Amino acid sequence: MVSQKAWAVDTCSSSDLQACVDFYDKKVSETKGQSDTLSGEISKLDNQISLTQSRINLTENKLSRIGDEMASISSKISLINGSLNHTSEILLNRIKSNYKINLDDRMLYLMTAKNFNAFVSRATYLQIVQRHDQELLEQMSLTKKNYSDQKDLLIDVKKKQEDLKKQLNAYKVQMNEQKKEKNRLLEITQNNEVKYRQLLSQAQAQLAAFKGFVTNLGGASLLSNQTSCDDWGCYYNQRDSQWGTWGIGRSRDSMAEYGCLVTSSAMILSHYGHRVTPGQVARTNDAFFANTAYMLLSPWSIDGVTFSRTNYGRNLSKLDEELAAGRPAIVGIGAGPDHFVVIRSKDGSDYKMYDPFVAGAKDISFKSKYAISSISVVNVVRVN
């Protein structure tokens, strides 16, 4: 049974390492899901970091013990090899001796005995020599088997060592990501409980609006063969089967239902020469608030560039200004906003858009799907 004491991960003794892992694994399981408070979310992240550090400590301990085991096996192989060489040398000498004394010579050796007792003694001697040779052969056979077994064991242990090294590297990467997530959360909330709750409330409202939009259109069934690229960039659809079932950020909210802004961002990035997919954007954890699918306005990076959005509210003049400068923008539709699309260009009193939800909606009329009055926010995008 795991002790419920508060382990100090960095001071766990070798005998406590597995207990540390079990303890923090239980703590993480108990605190799954989104916390309503910043302190609760930070506590959850601290438990995750402690769990990963415990796993690192345990894995490093296993590697140390495997290193000792490999040294022991290598030493045994060296000793067995020495014994094998010694036995081989003795057998080689015996073979040379037996080669020089053929069967006729042995019979003559027996028959020239001076008396019966001498004959028996010589016969007994030859039997002892033969039995000794047989024992040497059996010993050599066993030594060879032992040598082969130890070599196989060494191969198995080396494989375990390589697997543990890979696992250790994976844990270290995970640790860096977890620390990065914690620092990111403190940065965007300014370590302020009120700010955290505001962002959480915004996230819940935004995702509810996305859900309502999708429900009103009959659900987010998956589509195929939606991607289309040209000189402008790529059209992507959030419901594409390539990524439609993927979760966004660290959440379980699917791209098909909640990925309109994610997909719109990927389309803008493609316009500026960065052919990242919506799936890749969805897995850029820094882009989203905590464990939600809510994309932050604050800058985030992907493919070596920084992506930032500035919300200008319902400022259609700013939208037209961006389009006139050859810069596409992202607009929100409905009060939520309920949905986001990419506006590519101005077309008289209309706009040309890339709609990430409607099947094959590449460079289509905005008015064919939505009223201009439905635009609730204009997001100016910069890719640096």
Percent of the chain predicted with pLDDT > 70: 80
Buried b vs exposed e over 291-317: b needs ≥16 C-beta within 10 Å? bbbbbbeeebebeeeebbbeebeeeee
Confidence band (pLDDT; 50, 70, 90) for 6?
Answer: very low
For the entire predicted model, the pTM comes to 0.74
Mean pLDDT for the stretch of residues 246-274: 97
Whether 270 has a pLDDT exceeding 80, the answer reads: yes
Higher-confidence residue of 204 and 120: namely 204
Whether 10 has a pLDDT exceeding 70, the answer reads: no
Mean pLDDT for the stretch of residues 350-372: 98
User: Which candidate, 340, 384, 335, places its Cα nearest to that of 366?
Assistant: 340
The tokens for 122 are: 């010589």
At the topology level, CATH places domain 197-383 in Cathepsin B; Chain A (3.90.70)
CATH number corresponding to 1-191: 1.10.287
The DSSP line for 156-208 is: HHHHHHHHHHHHHHHHHHHHHHHHHHHHHHHHHHTT-HHHHHHHHHHHHHHHH
Cβ-proximal residues to 167 (8 Å cutoff; 6+ apart), any chain: 59
Q: CATH 1.10.287 occupies which residues in the chain?
A: 1-191
Higher-confidence residue of 96 and 147: namely 147
Confidence band (pLDDT; 50, 70, 90) for 151?
Answer: confident
Residues 303-360: tens digit of each pLDDT: 899 999 999 999 999 999 999 999 999 999 999 999 999 999 999 999 999 999 999 9
Q: CATH 3.90.70 occupies which residues in the chain?
A: 197-383
Whether 58 has a pLDDT exceeding 90, the answer reads: yes
Whether 362 has a pLDDT exceeding 90, the answer reads: yes
